[in-house]
Amino acid sequence: MPLLLAAVLQLLGCSAACAWQLVTEENPPYNMRQDGRVVGISTDKLLEAFQRVGVKPDIQIMPWARAYQSALTRSNHCVFSTARNTDREPLFKWIGPIAEAEWVLYKTADAAVPARLDDVRGQVIGGYLEDVITKWLLAQGYHVEAATSDAVNPRKLIAGRIDFWASTPARASRFLAAGNLASAIVPALSFGRSQLYLACHPSASDAMVRRLNDALRDMGKDGTSARIEARYANRLKP
């Protein structure tokens, strides 16, 4: 009987009968550990959406590259908060958007301010493995040195090992505050934005994906999403 049930579930695709495994990184205010729980703008919205469809997912925090690969390769796994673009589009089933992130180039306080992104072509930009900003810059021909953790880039910038650092305001503000570098490293220019989603392995049930997207749309209409965002508004400041 267990083998028969497994075969039936495989044919039907994963739905409420399967355990939904959501994986993410530590990236306040979107996803983070707090008092033994995973919370944040993206996390809270997803938990509310899953509650509305009657499913309780399991959420784990791990390094971003590992989280991303697990959703690519393991059935019933989803990764968030994932920027959606043309390269990633066919790789996943998409639920969202659940948040938005700005792309910012950072510099040392005494460095010249580039007038446009093209002015830094040929210089070394610090990036982050499997990050959409890093991938976009590489695709455009920029010289990006991708680290396994974005947390190391502020110190690399101060040490002169990279010329600029490409990140998001929420992520950058956390690392700068932790290293007491908020006055030493400053924004140079904003050069893009990305919508963030829950990206699910293709085995995810189409019906469940539709229901979760409907739940998120309803949350936008009834004010739930705005209330969740308001709880973390102070964490979104650069």
Both ends of the chain: CA-CA distance in Å? 55
pLDDT recorded at residue 173? 92
Q: 115 and 73, same structural domain?
A: no
Q: Are residues 202 and 94 in the same domain?
A: yes
Residue 237 has a pLDDT of 57
116 and 185 co-located in one domain: yes
Instruction: State the pLDDT confidence band at 234, using cuts at 50, 70 and 90.
Output: confident
pLDDT of 233 reads 85
Please state, as a whole number, how many other Cβ atoms lie within 10 Å of the Cβ of residue 39: 20
Q: Quote the radius of gyration of the chain (alpha carbons, Å).
A: 19
Q: Would you give the DSSP letter of residue 231? A: H
Strand partners, 143: 124
Q: In whole angstroms, what is the distance from residue 64 CA to residue 42 CA? A: 15
Q: Over the stretch 14-38, which tens digit does the pLDDT of each residue have?
A: 445 568 999 999 999 999 999 999 9
Q: How many domains, the chain?
A: 2
My answer on whether 141 and 59 are in the same domain is no
E runs forming strands in the chain: 21-24, 32-34, 37-39, 58-61, 77-83, 93-108, 124-128, 143-147, 164-167, 185-200
Q: Is 161 found in the same domain as 45?
A: no
Domain that holds residue 186: 101-193
Same domain, 94 and 127: no
Residue 12 has pLDDT above 80, yes or no: no
Two structure tokens written together for 27: 């990236």
For residues 92 and 110, membership in a common domain is answered with no
Which 3-state string (H, E, C) describes 19-47? CCEEEECCECCCEEEECCEEECHHHHHHH
Same domain as 215, residue 182: no
Token output for 186: 């400053």
Residue 236: the pLDDT is 62
Distance of CA 72 to the CA centre of its chain: 15
pLDDT of residue 139: 96
CATH of the domain at 9: 3.40.190.10
Kindly report, residue by residue over 113-156, the tens digit of the pLDDT. 999 999 999 999 999 998 999 999 999 999 999 999 999 999 99
Q: Mention every residue, 6+ apart, whose C-beta is less than 8 A from residue 108.
A: 157, 158, 184, 185, 186
For the segment 71-118, what is each residue's pLDDT rounded down to a tens digit?
999 999 999 999 999 999 999 999 999 999 999 999 999 999 999 999
- pLDDT value for 5: 42
My answer on whether 125 and 68 are in the same domain is no
pLDDT for the residue 130: 85
Give the Cα separation of 169 and 160 in Å (integer): 21
Closest CA to 185 of 77, 108, 96, 118: 108
**Predicted confidence (pLDDT) per residue in 155-188, tens digit:** 999 999 999 999 999 899 999 999 999 999 999 9
Of 157, 170, 162, 122, the residue nearest 145 (C-alpha): 162
| Among 214, 199, 205, residue whose Cα is nearest residue 18 | 205
Q: Are residues 9 and 94 in the same domain?
A: yes
Claim to verify: residue 69 and residue 137 sit in the same structural domain: no
Query: Whole-angstrom Cα distance, residue 158 to residue 136?
Result: 24
pLDDT given at position 10: 46
User: Is 66 in a helix, a strand, or coil?
Assistant: helix
92 and 158 share a domain? no
Long-range pairs for 211-215 at CB < 8 Å and ≥24 separation?
211/53, 212/49, 212/50, 212/53, 212/95, 213/95, 213/96, 215/48, 215/49, 215/50, 215/52, 215/53
